[in-house]
Amino acid sequence: MEAQPLQRASPPPPVHVAIIMDGNGRWAKARGLPRTAGHKRGAEAVKRAVESAGKLGIRYLTLFSFSSENWRRPLAEVTDLMTLLRYYLRNEVHFLHEHGIRFRSIGDRARLDADIVAQIERTESATAAHDRLTLTIALNYGARAELTTAARRIACEAAAGRIDPQQIDEAQFAAHLYTADIPDPDLLIRTSGEKRISNFLLWQLAYAELIFVDTLWPDFSNQDLQDAVGEFHRRERRYGATGG
């Protein structure tokens, strides 16, 4: 009997994928709908992305949900976004349990309403033991503020004599970031065709592959995520070790 050719194993998925979810407003405008409708459809896209990431074997998924600059949007839109956030925090815990997802939030919680902070903390606690996928939502997040806060904390520790300034290195600095307990992203995806990082994970994205897709976030599908992972696998990651 003729020997069958060996099947080539599929490459492992990126461990950590970060996504800038962009295009909710444009999706709604193109359909003559209020921006709130775009945000609601965007929330549905979040669930699709989370389910797809789990099936692909991605271990960490970080989504840029609300930036510290988003407070400048019209008050009615911000209010609608916070109402939507409350709804999903209250009603989607069963989804997290069902899929073995650990939930966490990064960003400055000081400006969020107390009931939202309390629900975030309850959800983090309730899902802490899950280990299939860690879903991190960036809320009231800005990378420059994160870096500034980390530097301030290290400076205070040095002033108190708990840290030798000469011993501060990249690992010690990273340990003071919101993401200290998870690996840096391997892949960043931004939807809607924009090609900016927009103050998102500036330290953590140092060696991530960046993929920009034209799809508006509410239309982001399982296939879009699979295609992005496929593009990631076609790239050679050098980490600065060799030239092009």
Query: Which amino acids are annotated as binding site for substrate, given as ranges?
Result: 23-27, 35, 39, 67-69, 71, 73, 190, 196-198
Please, which residues bridge with residue 103 across strands? 135
Contacts of 106 (CB under 8 A, 6+ apart): 62, 136, 137, 138, 139, 141, 146, 178, 179
Closest CA to 24 of 220, 225, 217: 217
* Catalytic residue flag (residue 219): no
Catalytic one of 70, 108, 199, 227: 70
Between the CA atoms of 198, 204, 206 and 207, what dihedral angle is there, to the nearest 10 degrees?
Answer: -120
Alpha-carbon radius of gyration of the chain: 20
Among 22, 80, 184, 224, the one annotated catalytic: 22
Q: What is the DSSP letter of 233?
A: H
Binding site listing? 22-27, 35, 39, 67-69, 71, 73, 190, 196-198, 209
Q: Which residue positions form the known binding site for Mg(2+)?
A: 22, 209
CB 28 within 8 A of CB 34: yes
Task: Look up 70 and say whether it is catalytic.
Answer: yes
Return d(Cα 125, Cα 127) in angstroms, integer.
6
Q: Give the residue numbers marked as catalytic.
A: 22, 70
